[in-house]
Structure 1
Amino acid sequence: MTQHSDLLIIGAGILGLSHAYAAARRGLKVKVFERSATPLGASVRNFGQALVTGQPPGLMLDLARESRDIWGRWSELAGLQLKRNGSYLFARTEAEEHLLEAFCAGRAEAYGYRVNLLRGAAMQDLYGGQFRHHRAALHGLDDQQLYSREALPALINYLRSELKVEFHFSTLVRDVEPGQLHSTAGTFHGKQIIVCSGHDYQTLLAGQLAEFDLQICRLQMLRARPRLDLNLQHALLTGLSCVHYGAFADLPEAAPVQAQILRESPHLHENGIHLLISPTPYGELIIGDSHHYGSDPSPFNGEQVDNWMIELAQQTLGCEIQVVERWQGVYGSRGPGPFSFLRAAPGVNAALMHTGVGMSVGPAMAERNIAELWGDG
């Protein structure tokens, strides 16, 4: 089989779909190849949090803001559910509260983060006082939240039906070379090829990727029902996230937060646990996560890690939860920067995320990559 296209994309996760959208809306003929019958990687195993507030000033913040607009466009075009009312990051300790104060007074003002710091009466009013046991809450107004398991299929359907992107699911791409790829569905020809295969560093372009010495991050994740009807409509984080996200982690006030974690809860640091909670459209909560790094993700979860996350979630929510599902998240990590766009050969490229924020910045990354490849940016 010989098929000619402008762009061939390997991988139907958020990076692959974002590149497909950016190209197809320019009128280019696009084909997407995915080895499984539906996306099963990082893009559907995550929290569905598209965060602006947590991104550090500079390129990542710019990409998150641009991606926010793209998600809004997709919500209208593809009919996917998107909560645009922001997130709440709770300060549980005095050190965490001081860090949020410093962020609001300094970096937020300097770089235009749209945030509000809730304390006192405002905390009492938040969800009827359900979270009044926290010292403060940072409301990130630009943060968004979606249900990845439904959002990606909705985006795929839109790309296929409206932008005429051709999808080849259950199709393994064995090799790529300038101008063509070889797959279980045949050989396809295209002007440009972009490999968006997530954390798979061994199937395609293995030699070039080996030079990066990339690692894989494995995360333990849960889906649970709260014992109370919280009617939660926002993504939730805690001050634990402040030592992980670049918007906060390099501020002087972050050092006491990290010191307190190491002193009082070293197991959280050792297992990379910082609590994230996302509501689903069905009243359940996606809860996590832990972070363990290596060249190959272990298939074995630690029950104690889950128990620590459940304990944190119950403390944060102020109610008990019932776990209904457990799984492993996984994404590529620890590269030369937060992401890479590798020019492997003439017309052969690889788009790689080296952090877990592909949902937050991936759509805008793809727009820039396609603009550069086609000379309009």
Structure 2
Amino acid sequence: MRLRSFARSFRLDAVKPVRETDIAIVGAGILGLSHAYAAALRGLRVTVFERTGTPTGASIRNFGQVLVTGQPPGPMLALAKASRAIWQHWASQAGFFAREAGCLLFARTDCEVAVIDEFVETRAQSGGYDVARLDQAALGALYDGRFAHHRAALHGREDMQVFSREALPAIIAYLRDRLGVEFVFDTLVRHVDDGYLDTTAGACRAAHIVVCSGHDYLTLLSDALAEIGPRVCRLQMLRVRPTREIALRHALLTGLSCLHYGAFSDLPSARALLDDVRRTAPELLDAGIHLLASPAPDGSVIIGDSHDYNSDPMPFNDERVDRHLLDLAERLFDEPLAVVQRWQGVYGSRARHERPFSVLKASRGVTGVWMHTGVGMSVGPGLGESVMAEIVEHRMRSAA
């Protein structure tokens, strides 16, 4: 009976029509959509496969910060600047919420002020960052003095912020309706090979396949991924509502973020800040906590985050971590905050942090692209353009 059932199933699969496309993309997160956009702009037929009915991974669980200022000088900063231009185009064409007022990084201690000053006086000038230092007088004039209890701030003027859980569906609709990208949701891609995908919705033939499978390191290209030591980073995040209404136009960071982002973390003053935090608040380092706050369209604020690295994202939140995050946020806003939502962020990582992303040429017609840090929103669109340009150029050279 079992053999007859299998044979019947095989015959049904065999008669399913085979999709034909130029570029097949696995994953409808920000990396998958970025590659789909870059391919569609080049006039290619694009099909995107997504295992769920809508994106549910890292790309909609985040702060929505398109952070240019935090990227280290060199390739990452260039990718962030290119991504910003793409986000601006998407927002105008797809019609989703976006803010372009930049971010504010607040400093409350001598060590945090020292990092801002060193960055402004050295790296910001040599690296071409568009920033301004705000002193206490400037902070007193900002948001009715709500943040005047800080000593200084860095205004990153190129930074943007979107509401991810609305932006991603809007981008999907734009790519589908305006650029002709085909989306196949609720479909697992079980295997990829040169020119071929085996999926739960039938087979697909493609001139090139791009795998953007997020933190799924087991389903596709697992042998190639095993060599980089993949891990998963789990983050605790909250959505809060301030007691006093605030029309927040900027994404907010604090001095702790200088330990996390490459634009600051290797500065001598950042090393002194690390020593200071290690001495005064080691529990924050133990949990990988640094505070970000992003305004949502309804007036609430997304805050976080922590960092817990493991082979699998464990489902259990630590209330102490949430309490640390709330304490930091209430000090930032200088008032109590009401929690309205809690969730876990998640993104792929790797055992060694020397590379923020991987682009692996698995075979002649299959490329895998994975982020290993939480900056996919900031650099993903630019990375998609770069990778797709290389794929198309290679195809043209091969055809010549």
Settle same-fold status: TM greater than 0.5: yes
Does residue 3 of structure 1 match 2:19? yes
Distance 2:108 2:55 in 1: 36
Does residue 245 of structure 1 match 2:261? yes
Alpha-carbon distance, 1:152 to partner: 0.3
Partner of 2:34: 18
Give secondary structure in 1 for the equivalent of 2:85: helix
1:96-135 deviations in Å (ceiling 9; x for gaps): 0011001000000111111011013101101110001101
Partner of 2:329: 313
Does residue 199 of structure 1 match 2:221? no
Give secondary structure in 1 for the equivalent of 2:294: strand
Distance 1:326 1:357 in 2: 21
Does residue 289 of structure 1 match 2:319? no
Residues 240 and 337, structure 2, Cα contact 8 Å, conserved in 1: yes
Give secondary structure in 2 for the equivalent of 1:307: helix
- Greater radius of gyration (CA): 2
Matches within 5 A, 1:57-68: 57-68=73-84
Does residue 368 of structure 1 match 2:398? no
Select 1:45's aligned residue among 46, 58, 61.
Answer: 61
Amino acid at match of 2:133: L
Amino acid at match of 2:360: L
1:278-334 deviations in Å (ceiling 9; x for gaps): 000000000100001011111100001000100000000111111011110000113
Alpha-carbon distance, 1:230 to partner: 1.5
Alpha-carbon distance, 1:207 to partner: 1.1
Give secondary structure in 1 for the equivalent of 2:113: helix
Alpha-carbon distance, 1:159 to partner: 0.3
Give secondary structure in 2 for the equivalent of 1:229: coil
Partner of 1:97: 113
1:205-227 deviations in Å (ceiling 9; x for gaps): 11111111111100000011111
Matches within 5 A, 1:129-148: 129-148=145-164
Select 2:356's aligned residue among 325, 333, 338.
Answer: 338
Residues 253 and 293, structure 2, Cα contact 8 Å, conserved in 1: yes
Query: Structure 1-normalised TM-score?
Result: 0.99
Query: Structure 2-normalised TM-score?
Result: 0.93
Select 2:277's aligned residue among 261, 266, 280.
Answer: 261
Amino acid at match of 2:23: L
Does residue 218 of structure 1 match 2:227? no
Task: Structure 1 unaligned segments of length 5 or more: list them.
Answer: none
| Large movers: runs of 4+ above 2 Å | none
Does residue 348 of structure 1 match 2:366? yes
Distance 2:74 2:128 in 1: 12
Distance 1:22 1:14 in 2: 12
Indicate the percent of aligned positions where both proteins have the same amino acid: 56
Partner of 2:14: none
Alpha-carbon distance, 1:231 to partner: 1.4
Task: Structure 2 unaligned segments of length 5 or more: list them.
Answer: 1-16
Residues 136 and 150, structure 2, Cα contact 8 Å, conserved in 1: no
Does residue 162 of structure 1 match 2:170? no
Amino acid at match of 2:181: V
Distance 2:314 2:236 in 1: 11
Distance 1:236 1:160 in 2: 33
1:150-184 deviations in Å (ceiling 9; x for gaps): 00000000000000100001111111111010111
